[in-house]
Amino acid sequence: MKVYADNAATTKISKTALDAMMPCYTEIYGNPSSLHQVGQEAFHAVRDAREMMAKCLNCDTDELYFTSGGSESDNWAIKGAAHLMAKKGKKHIISSKFEHHAVLHTLNALEKEGFEITLLDVYENGLVKVEDVKNAIREDTALVTVMYANNEIGTVQPIREIGAVCREKGVLFHTDAVQAVGHIPVDVKADNIDMMSLSGHKFHGPKGIGALYCKKGIRLPNLIEGGAQERNRRAGTENVPAIVGMAAALKEACDNMEENTKKLVAMREQLINGILKIDASRINGDRDHRLPGNVSACFEGVEGESLLLYLDLAGISASSGSACTSGSLDPSHVLLAIGLPHEVAHGSLRLSICEENTPEQMDYIIEQLPPIINRLRDMSPLWERIQNERK
């Protein structure tokens, strides 16, 4: 059996999105900036896509800017807001310890420029406390940036409440909603969001395309300079097929969200229950405030990369936050941020499912996991030690 359970890394493009994109390669191939008819057709395609997306997010079309993806949107929003507010003498930024590297590395760069960064605790359950945000805000706070949902452990943050605190204190609020948009209801107005990043390939749209929502009135300086595209705010000839595909994918995801969520939550709980039957296993992150399709687990005495590769041989695609898959010597900063010891964090497994997965596939994963874990534990000196300590 083949099971793709790495949808938080990226998703398969949906048929709806692909069908919407194809004519943009074959017929509507003009440059939206061109005044002739071929160009105007492309211009209309981008305009319609923007309208469709604005409806899904509850914003105006002129608050939405197309970018190359989540990373660019994060960079633009955070650097832009920082530089905008620095002119008013505000050089303090608040974020959380377990943001995506697109946010954390951007903050590192700003720190080198002289900004002061406060990273809030996310506690054992992987949730930022609204009180902490309130207490961290100072006179010179330029920006609060907290992710909507975490990409590794799937916890969903109290964004609306954090947004309300920021509004009350008059501080700009950005959220990296790359893992949330298309998966849980996101409404920029009701959620009190000033800026929001999203990425097409996380909800069955194409890769290399995303958007930044920026509330009217915020004069964010440009990140990409050049032509007059995106109302002079983001240069570069529009990736028309990708924009059209992303919009079609988002509409489809939002139209089917209720139904998908029901299905996903049932499969997620099926997986979690199966995993918890395995000796010395744990589920990471709050059990209630989490994405419908995310399961993050740790297995003691097992190393994540080996687990991931043996699962792959069984036809199951998943991911891990072990040091050896992170490309560094430390396990994922997310798992360390929720207080896991290094040796437990090394044994992590992330299964992220989508509506195309089936309950039968979940059964298959639950059936495949124990023999693989046993095999690895049988040859693990760490597991031997854990067993001896238990006696």
Ligand X SMILES: Cc1ncc(COP(=O)(O)O)c(C=O)c1O
Q: What, of other proteins, ligand X, Zn ion, none, does residue 379 touch, CB below 5 to 8 Å by kind? A: other proteins
**Element spanning 385, H or E:** helix 381-390
Residue identified by tokens 């059990």 is 287
The C-alpha atoms of residue 155 and residue 287 are separated, in whole angstroms, by 8
Q: Measured from the CB atom, is 228 or 379 closer to other proteins? A: 379
The C-alpha atoms of residue 285 and residue 291 are separated, in whole angstroms, by 10
CB of 10 vs ligand X, minimal distance in Å = 8
CB of 207 vs ligand X, minimal distance in Å = 7
Residue 279 binds to other proteins (criterion: CB under 8 A):
no
Residue identified by tokens 């330029």 is 142
Q: Who's near 307: CB < 8 A, 6+ residues apart? A: 299, 320, 347, 349, 372, 373, 376
Q: Measured from the CB atom, is 60 or 305 closer to other proteins? A: 305
φ/ψ of 358, rounded to 5, equals -130, 160
Residue 174 binds to other proteins (criterion: CB under 8 A):
no
Residue 379 binds to other proteins (criterion: CB under 8 A):
yes
Dihedral over Cα of 125, 108, 70, 138: its sign: positive
**Is 195:189 a contact under the CB 8 Å cutoff?**
no
Residue 299 binds to other proteins (criterion: CB under 8 A):
no
Any idea what DSSP says for residue 327? Answer: T
Q: Measured from the CB atom, is 27 or 312 closer to other proteins? A: 312
φ/ψ of 73, rounded to 5, equals -60, -45
Q: Which of 166, 254, 324, 354 is catalytic?
A: 324
Write out the two tokens for 311: 């699962």
CB of 336 vs Zn ion, minimal distance in Å = 17
CB of 72 vs ligand X, minimal distance in Å = 7
The verdict on whether 24 is a catalytic residue reads no
Residue 390 binds to other proteins (criterion: CB under 8 A):
no
CB of 325 vs Zn ion, minimal distance in Å = 9
**Is 107:117 a contact under the CB 8 Å cutoff?**
yes
**Element spanning 108, H or E:** helix 101-112
Q: Which 304-333 positions form the footprint of Zn ion (CB under 5 A)?
A: 324
Residue 329 binds to other proteins (criterion: CB under 8 A):
yes
Residue 309 binds to other proteins (criterion: CB under 8 A):
yes
Q: Residue 363, by phi and psi: left (phi above 0), alpha (psi -120 to 50) or beta? A: alpha
* Sole window of 29-37, 57-65, 142-150, 308-316 interacting with other proteins (rule: CB under 8 A): 308-316
Chain contacts with ligand X (rule: CB under 6 A): 69-71, 74, 100, 102, 147, 151, 176, 178-179, 199, 210
CB of 335 vs other proteins, minimal distance in Å = 12
Q: How many CB atoms lie within 10 A of CB 302?
A: 27
Q: What is the dihedral of CA 317, 322, 328, 329, to 10 degrees?
A: -150
The C-alpha atoms of residue 308 and residue 215 are separated, in whole angstroms, by 41
* Sole window of 147-155, 158-166, 284-292, 342-350 interacting with other proteins (rule: CB under 8 A): 342-350
Q: What, of ligand X, other proteins, Zn ion, none, does residue 178 touch, CB below 5 to 8 Å by kind? A: ligand X
Closest residue to ligand X, based on beta-carbon distance: 70
# binding residues, other proteins (CB under 8 A): 26
Rg (CA), the chain: 22
CB of 147 vs ligand X, minimal distance in Å = 6
Catalytic center residues: 324
Summarize as ranges the residues that interact with Zn ion (CB under 5 A): 324
In the complex, which residues of this chain contact other proteins (CB under 8 A)?
301-303, 305-306, 309-310, 313, 322-325, 327, 329, 331, 342-343, 346, 376, 378-384
